[in-house]
Amino acid sequence: MGPVSTCKLFGAVRAVTGIKNAVPLIHGPRGCAYHIGYLLTARGGRRIAVASTELSESDVVFGASEKLRDRIIEVDRTRKPDIIVIMSSCATSIIGEDIGRVADETSELVDAELITVSAGGFESSQGEGYEEVMMALIHKFCWRMEPSSKPSVNIIGEFRGGADLREVRESLSLMGVDVNCVLTSGCSIRDMTMIPAGHLNCSFCDVSGIAPCRFLEENFGTPFIHHPIPIGFSNSLRFYREVLGYLNLDYPINEEFSAFIEERDRIRAELEGLRVAVVSGPTRAVALTEFITELRMKPVLVSMDMIGDYTLENLRGVPGLRSEILVGVDVSDIEEAIIRTEPELILGGLAETRISEVSGAPLIDVMHGSSLTAGFRGAVNLGARMCGAVYGDHDCY
């Protein structure tokens, strides 16, 4: 009755909005563009502009390829993007509008690179939207090339920029590792052309990052890892160790970790024994669950909107996990589980605001916030937020 995931078009638009100077153009009624643009703007804290052909009823009945052609040219002339990603919506997928043909016929008339993605909302969920956009970009911009002279990686399936991505990039840079491309957050066309020069691909999304990583391995010989995103002290340590191991780099990561042990223990002393519910996407949920157990709290519920190939394997690797696990259930099931499992803290998103109020368990929004959660410093920050949420004293740690 109340879905917890959204449509393929949402995922496709979100992936495109990460790319530098790219415009998502939806061939569909204006509502798809308005609602998705509004939601992404609210979530990300910056205005997300989504172009649309704004189809009328007769367009949906008789087709509107001329309108699409005109809108592509208009977007190219007025916004001067490097890339326009043209996406179908439910309406144009149902009538079988050939957006690929329109793009081919229009490509000579515009300066932007044109990419098309079939993104009817009913086709699948947002995960496939992310994946198809990344695959289309790889097919368009990646060709065989010599490996980078410096150790380098690509991060595949990261759509959120901000503090976490900065932390990971800066930490890798200190270790002597270049990040050639983050697909798609903040990437340019040039970054994407450098993907095959990377020595290692790191999937940061268990749902959408694995297929592109496998494709890159098969076609360019680049190995990949599917480590949960580096949230938590131990998990971050293992992530950086894994990268350093693959790249055969000598770096004192254990010493760096040691500097945080005292702080970890102080957070632990504050939070030990607390019951916690995690409601999140799969890759983040696994990392957060491990962090909770690392702090000796008790994860009583882990709810994920969907899972990828490695999610359950990674979750099973969390030491001593005894939590109830839900996958793809609707909002009322999640709320009922939260009431039943009686957490004292919820790590979730805006959708858990109501149940947080009803149950009395404070909520930390780990889905949309811009505050730091990744790496050792992110673990300190998130630990302090948990203390603040539980004890109502942001200075308690």
Site residues, ligand SF4 (CB under 6 A): 7, 9, 28, 32, 35, 89-90, 120-121
Residues 6+ positions from 166 with CB-CB distance below 8 Å: none
Nearest approach in angstroms of CB 397 to ligand SF4 is 42
Separation between Cα atoms, residue 159 and residue 142, nearest integer Å: 19
Place of tokens 């509008």: 97
Collapsing DSSP to helix, strand or coil, 168 comes out as helix
Nearest approach in angstroms of CB 209 to ligand SF4 is 22
**Closer Cβ to ligand SF4, 129 or 230, answer by number:** 129
Nearest approach in angstroms of CB 60 to ligand SF4 is 11
**Closer Cβ to ligand SF4, 85 or 295, answer by number:** 85
Nearest approach in angstroms of CB 121 to ligand SF4 is 2
**Closer Cβ to ligand SF4, 115 or 300, answer by number:** 115
* Residue 277: CB atoms within 10 Å: 29
Residues 6+ positions from 54 with CB-CB distance below 8 Å: 29, 30, 33
Nearest approach in angstroms of CB 349 to ligand SF4 is 19
**Closer Cβ to ligand SF4, 90 or 114, answer by number:** 90
List, in sequence order, every residue forming a beta bridge with 348; answer none if it has no partner: 365
Q: Which residue is nearest to ligand SF4 (CB)?
A: 121
Do residues 113 and 83 lie in contact, with contact meaning Cβ atoms separated by under 8 Å?
yes
Residue 229 is classified by DSSP as: P
Nearest approach in angstroms of CB 368 to ligand SF4 is 19
**Closer Cβ to ligand SF4, 6 or 188, answer by number:** 6
List, in sequence order, every residue forming a beta bridge with 363; answer none if it has no partner: 346
**Closer Cβ to ligand SF4, 120 or 281, answer by number:** 120
Separation between Cα atoms, residue 242 and residue 206, nearest integer Å: 17
Separation between Cα atoms, residue 121 and residue 320, nearest integer Å: 39
